[in-house]
Copies of this chain bind each other. A is one copy, B any other.
Amino acid sequence: MLAEIITIGDEILIGQIVDTNSAWMAKQLNLIGVSVKQITSVSDEEQHILEALAQAEKRADIILITGGLGPTKDDITKKTLAKYFNMGFRNDAGALEMVRQIFEKFKRPLLDVNIQQADVPDGCEVIVNRNGTAPCMWFEQNDRIFVSMPGVPYEMMYLMDDEILPRITSRFKLPAIVHKTILTASIGESFLAKEIEEIEDSLPAHIKLAYLPKLGQVRLRLSAKGDNETDIKTEVEVYAKKIIAKVSKFVVIDEDIALEKAILNIMKEKGLTLSTAESCTGGYIAHLITQHPGCSSVYWGGAVAYAYELKESILGVKENTLTTFGAVSEQTVTEMAEGAIKHFKTDYSIAVSGIAGPDGGTEDKPVGTVWIAISSKHKTVAKVFNFSNKRIQNIERSAASALTMLLNLLKETV
């Protein structure tokens, strides 16, 4: 079973927004055994949308479309779908009722343009959108399914979770798709490939291996497709174990979860607590951790200490340390990490201080110089990194490195 995703909207093509919908949808589809053949982003232009639909219909069984369903003039998806399927329009009672309820909830008068949101191509099935005024529409033609959803992420997510995915699973006998991910650090892609060459060459045709480098780490992904989920899972596990055994010292985790989630799992199990003391990462590490539900049993919080004053007042870094060695130094980052343990009373802490750039570099400490320290109550490990001259990347790489260091210390000590 193949799907295609078509996202409609000029805002994607001018780069004003990043299309995060597609990745989310692709992940959900893969989980139920539907492979995504292609993701296509097109403009709010009738001819172009028609072409994209026709091409997708040739390649895929299910075509999921988002965007262009708003009440305003730049939204032409509905009109274009009616044209594609050669349909007229009807005003859908169920969709209209939902629009009415939403406007009533926000105590706003219903405008004509909102009533028109319940106008749908007359051959489609309406799936009520409980979180917005644009109805979701389900079309069938030549054994293909087309679903048009709003582009607003949370409206699309609810519709997928509650309606679209259950309908697909109940209607089709889907193959099992199994992915197994192994996250490695401190080894380059080609060295890794060389190390596991024999295992890779021995893989059967229905198991694929992919290398995904990111932020100084390489994710290895084994993917298999088959009829029996248990069988292919077992088979994939055999190869995963071989790979892990071969490159064990570089393996960070063998699950497709974020690094910080792996840390939270370990710490929660052991009843350990964590705090952060961030300078150049500016709250990014805290944000990564607090994205995860249930993090509060491990993560107590921390400081974003951008200014010298806050490094002193919240973390207890000595003024003398800052003036003698500078904010970006082993001494400062060590005092930050140990200060976090002391003041926030947690078992472990992460501290980062660096020059994210683009300005602020010196000859001694160019942009991209980052000191990271990890403390437990008994030990502090500090390390310096030299990243790039791009700010966002330096923040992301610092966070990834800090989390890797913490995970290593945890593995050593707990």
Contacts and interface: CB of A to CB of B under 8 A. Distances in A.
Contacts of A310: 275, 300-302, 344
Interface string A221-240: 10100000000000000000
Contacts of A209: 73-74
Interface stretch (A107-115, A162-170, A370-378): A107-115
A214 B9 CA distance: 14
A393 interface: yes
A163 B336 CA distance: 41
A303 interface: yes
Contacts of A304: 276, 283, 286, 290, 301-304
B286 A70 contact: no
A70 B391 contact: no
A17 interface: yes
Given A19-B22, A30-B15, A282-B286, A306 B296 contact: yes
A283 B306 CA distance: 13
Interface string A56-72: 00000000000000111
Nearest to A311: B301
Interface stretch (A184-192, A243-251, A400-408): A184-192
B344 A313 contact: yes
Contacts of A26: 12-15
A287 B287 contact: yes
A393 B280 CA distance: 25
A91 to B, nearest CB: 16
Interface in A359-414: 359, 388, 390-393, 395
Contact of A210 (B25, B44, B300): B44
A358 B13 CA distance: 33
B190 A114 contact: yes
Given A154-B390, A284-B283, A392-B291, A20 B17 contact: no
A15 B42 contact: no
Interface residues of A, number: 115
Contacts of A388: 131, 154
A27 interface: yes
A190 B314 contact: no
Interface string A34-62: 01111111111000100010010000000
A357 interface: yes
B223 A10 contact: yes
Contact of A307 (B111, B293, B296, B391): B296
Interface in A104-136: 106, 108, 111, 113-114, 131, 133
Nearest to A302: B304
A206 interface: no
A16 B301 contact: no
A326 interface: no
Given A189-B70, A296-B307, A39 B36 contact: no
A365 to B, nearest CB: 15
Contacts of A305: 301
Given A13-B36, A223-B10, A291-B392, A71 B193 contact: yes
A193 B154 contact: no
Q: Which of A154, A313, A388 has the most CB of B within 10 A?
A: A154
A194 interface: yes
Top-6 shortest CB links A-B: A282-B290, A283-B286, A15-B27, A283-B283, A15-B26, A300-B307
16 contacts: A11-B221, A12-B22, A12-B23, A13-B35, A14-B179, A15-B36, A38-B42, A38-B48, A71-B189, A75-B211, A113-B194, A278-B283, A301-B310, A302-B310, A303-B314, A304-B304
